[in-house]
Structure 1
Amino acid sequence: MRVLVVEDDPVVAELHRGYVATHPRFVVVGSAVTGTEALRLAATLRPDVVLLDVHLPDGDGLDVLTRLRTLPGPPLDVLATTAAREADAVRRAMAGGVVHYLVKPFTAAALRDRLDATWAAREALRRAGEAPALDQEQVDRLLARAAQPTPKGLSARSLELVEQALREAAGAGTGTGREGAAAGRGGAEAGRHGLGLSASEVAAAVGMSRVSARRYLEHLVTTGRARVAPRYGGTGRPENRYRPA
């Protein structure tokens, strides 16, 4: 995804560009130091994401946010990256449609989590767009997902692989490679019959411990991205089976 960095402090701008550069799915296509330049570059470069400072030399970054929404083309995902901590600034940013609000100074990991959430929300919307219509539950899941960064202790990449394993086992994914093949070997039969995968099968598919797989699966269930149901077999406790939502 293409990123435009809007920041008047050259040191901070370089820092944020470096943060973005560590993410394999995002690339910086331009930098602006004023609101006027930001609007010009957004119109010509057509970024997918804008990292927008609120305090700019030629005006209020939140006014720039409003004007960004009037540009032709697909909607932009705007992440506010600012030292502004006032409740009014946060309220205006939310009203303007920012997808995340990061208070300076923040770490590379904090920005990466928000970028991961932005990418995941875009992917979810893309997949949802293949359906003729969405029900209220699906809409609620999409809105919740857009604002949901990866929790501490969980890796965004591993979370993606776990979700991919569920989709592929259910016959709904299009991923390829080692993870997809492993998911197919570990649980495709269960997925084809609508039974989903167990935590052990997911662990084998993506190469992690069963305990870790369960943590990722429970997070997916909590955020509405997966469903869980017990499967009763012979003696002993029922086994939880997970499917994509």
Structure 2
Amino acid sequence: MIRVLVVDDDFMVARLHSTLVEQVPGFTVVRAVHSGNDALAAVRELRPDLVLLDMYLPDVPGLEVLRELRGTAAPDESPDVLVVTAARDAATVRGAQRGGAVQYIIKPFEGQLLRERLSRYAERRAELAALHAPEQDDVDRLFAGAPGEAAPDGTDGARTATGTADAATATSPHPAAPAAHTPARLPKGLTEQTAELVRATLEAAGGSSGLSASECAERSGLSRVSARRYLEHFVSLGTARVTLRYGTTGRPERRYHRVDAQEETSGSA
């Protein structure tokens, strides 16, 4: 199991990233912290394998945290670092690459992007662990997957394309520049980061039984009213559907189910 420490100054974003990490087989979150000093202390205490590191922290700059993590221990003892941040200036990207970050993801981003990067990281980690006396071809293959590699969509890995906003927070003191694609405006009172949290919770539930608003609230840390508002919004968009579960008494319970791409296509045909 790959043990992950999540570092982000925004509590909701840290919770979202933790949810996304837990959705990837073979990964588990050992803790989420919200400052550079807490990150360094957690690494010393928990010895995680991977750190998801934001660059905008309230006490210590993210690049300084990265240098500390990568420079104060033997290479086989220090954790790998995957940067997840709204910082898109060239100096920060170069600093992260020189500091040894294994990947750099720019907020806002699609949740699937982080899941894909984690899966590729796990594959590379397994390949590296299996090497004993590598040939040049083996080394070339591994270094082709180093920071700055070409991503599946043809973009540079250190300059990830930004798609739909689902991890950036509208109230962040360091908002990202507008993405190339602007998502549909949410109803008043709803935010993108919370929408993605509910979406990820719904995806994680899976199965044919779906999820009630109360169960979604419990798993995401939201109130039942808030969870239901987001779930009903997804229903209105066609990305979720509702079934009714009838009990012995009272009103039927509304169960929410994620609508996958195949269902959306067949429904619109």
Q: TM-score category by the smaller chain?
A: 0.5 to 0.7
1:28 correspondence with 2:29: yes
Q: Which residue identity lines up with residue 98 of structure 1 in the other structure?
A: A
> What is the deviation of 1:150?
7.4
CA deviations over 1:86-143 (Å, ceiling 9, x no partner)? 0000000000000100001112210011101110111110111xx3x32322211111
Q: Which residue identity lines up with residue 143 of structure 1 in the other structure?
A: F
| Aligned mates of 2:127, 2:151 — CA distance in 1 | 15
Residue number in structure 2 paired with 1:134: 134
Residue number in structure 1 paired with 2:52: 51
| Aligned mates of 1:56, 1:95 — CA distance in 2 | 20
The 8 Å contact of residues 15 and 32 in structure 2, kept in 1 or not, is answered as no
SS, match of residue 87 in structure 2: coil
SS, match of residue 93 in structure 1: helix
Larger RCO (CA within 8 A; separation ≥ 6): 2
Q: Which residue identity lines up with residue 56 of structure 1 in the other structure?
A: L
SS, match of residue 144 in structure 2: helix
- Correspondence list, 1:183-202, <5 A: none
- Correspondence list, 1:100-139, <5 A: 100-128=103-131, 131=132, 133-139=133-139
- Correspondence list, 1:160-179, <5 A: none
Residue number in structure 1 paired with 2:61: 60
Q: Which residue identity lines up with residue 125 of structure 1 in the other structure?
A: L
Q: Which residue identity lines up with residue 105 of structure 2 in the other structure?
A: L
Identity %: 47
Gaps of 5+ in 1: 153-245
Runs of 4+ in 1 over 6 A off after TM superposition: none
The 8 Å contact of residues 117 and 150 in structure 1, kept in 2 or not, is answered as no
Residue number in structure 2 paired with 1:98: 101
CA deviations over 1:190-239 (Å, ceiling 9, x no partner)? xxxxxxxxxxxxxxxxxxxxxxxxxxxxxxxxxxxxxxxxxxxxxxxxxx
> What is the deviation of 1:80?
0.4
> What is the deviation of 1:146?
4.2
When normalised by structure 1's length, the TM-score is 0.58
Residue number in structure 2 paired with 1:39: 40
Gaps of 5+ in 2: 154-269
The 8 Å contact of residues 4 and 51 in structure 1, kept in 2 or not, is answered as yes
Q: CA, structure 1 residues 149+20, in 2 after alignment: closer, same or farther (shift >3 Å)?
A: farther
Residue number in structure 2 paired with 1:183: none
- Correspondence list, 1:197-236, <5 A: none
When normalised by structure 2's length, the TM-score is 0.53
| Aligned mates of 1:104, 1:150 — CA distance in 2 | 16
| Aligned mates of 2:45, 2:102 — CA distance in 1 | 22
> What is the deviation of 1:149?
8.0
| Aligned mates of 2:118, 2:146 — CA distance in 1 | 10
| Aligned mates of 1:94, 1:151 — CA distance in 2 | 19
> What is the deviation of 1:52?
0.2
> What is the deviation of 1:13?
0.7
